[in-house]
Amino acid sequence: MVRIWGVLGLLGFLLWVYCVFDVISADGSQVRNLPKMTWLMIVVVSNAVGAVAWLALGRPQNLSFQPGSADYRAARRPIGPEDRPDFPTRTEDQSRRLREWEEDLERRERELRRREEGGEAS
C-alpha cells in the first residue's frame, strides 16, 4: 500500500513540475481563461489539482505536449456534405429551377392565349 501511494505521489509531483514549466513557457497571449501569472500561482499553490486544472482549462488549445514548443497541431475541422466533389452546385440548382419556371410560364401563356382566342370567337 505504501508503494502505491509513493508511486502516485511521484507521478503527481512529476505532473506538477511539468505543468509549472509548461505555464512558464506558454505564450501569455494564448493562455485560456485566466492570465498567465494567475495560472502559475494556481499550479504552484494547488499542486496536482492546479496542474490538472491548467491542463484542462488554461493550456492553449492545439498546443503540442512539449513545454516551450510553439508547434501547433492542426485544428480539426468538420467536413460538411458541400465539400464532396459530387455535391450539386448552386448554379446547377438555380438553372434547373429557372428552366422549370420558364416552362411553366410558357404553358400558362399558351393557356391564356387559347382562352382569349376562344372568347373572341364566341
Residues 51 and 10 in one domain: yes
Among positive and negative, which fits the CA dihedral 24, 11, 6, 45? Answer: positive
Reported as half-sphere exposure (CB side, CA atoms, 13 A), residue 72 has a value of 10
Note the pLDDT tens digit of each residue in 43-78.
999 888 899 998 888 888 766 665 555 555 555 667
In a domain, residue 75? The reply is: no
Give residue 101's pLDDT: 95
Give residue 106's pLDDT: 96
Note the pLDDT tens digit of each residue in 80-109.
777 777 776 667 778 888 999 999 999 999
**CA-closest candidate to residue 62, choices 48, 50, 76, 49:** 76
Give residue 87's pLDDT: 72
As for how many domains the chain has, the answer is 2
C-alpha cell recorded at residue 108: 400558362
Give residue 67's pLDDT: 55
Give residue 4's pLDDT: 85
Ramachandran assignment for 119, one of left (phi > 0), alpha (psi -120 to 50 degrees), beta (any other) = alpha
Domain membership of residue 101 as a residue range: 89-121
Residues 98 and 54 in one domain: no
Give residue 27's pLDDT: 81
Residues 93 and 48 in one domain: no
Examine the fold and report which residue of 11, 42, 58 is the final residue of a domain before the chain moves on. Answer: 58
